[in-house]
């Protein structure tokens, strides 16, 4: 990227959204009805055996449509816990 392009981007970044003239850009509605998740990038999964309390499994299964949704829900909860713990550790450092 040239210095001039970097300067233009910096100037745009410093502007508020209201200051940027977008009148030459046509309004195009975006149809997301055929969008698919995970097409271009998918995290690597690792299969393990994990013993969980029966009531925990029952709760996730009762709040999921399929077994895959159940596993995804458990993974999301664990991922959020890890994210919060990382943030807590970083804040205390």
* Alpha-carbon gap, residue 93 to 86, rounded angstroms: 11
Question: Which tokens go with 25?
Answer: 């850009």
Statement: the pTM of the whole predicted model exceeds 0.75: no
Segments making up each domain of the chain, as ranges:
44-93
Rounded CA gap, 62 and 69, in Å?
A: 10
Q: What percent of the chain has pLDDT over 70?
A: 100
What is the tens place of the pLDDT at every residue in 10-52?
999 999 989 988 889 888 888 989 988 778 877 788 999 999 9
How far CA 92 is from CA of 59, 84, 87, in Å, comes to 33, 12, 9
């Amino acid at each position: 990227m040239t210095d001039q392009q970097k300067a233009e981007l910096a100037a745009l970044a410093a502007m508020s959204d209201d200051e940027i003239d977008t009148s030459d850009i046509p309004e195009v509605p975006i149809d997301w009805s055929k969008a698919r998740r995970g097409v271009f990038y998918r995290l690597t999964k690792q299969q393990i055996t994990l013993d969980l309390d029966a009531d925990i499994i029952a709760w996730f299964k009762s709040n999921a449509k399929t077994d895959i949704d159940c596993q995804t829900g458990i993974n999301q909860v664990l991922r959020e816990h890890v994210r919060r713990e990382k943030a807590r550790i970083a804040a205390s450092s």
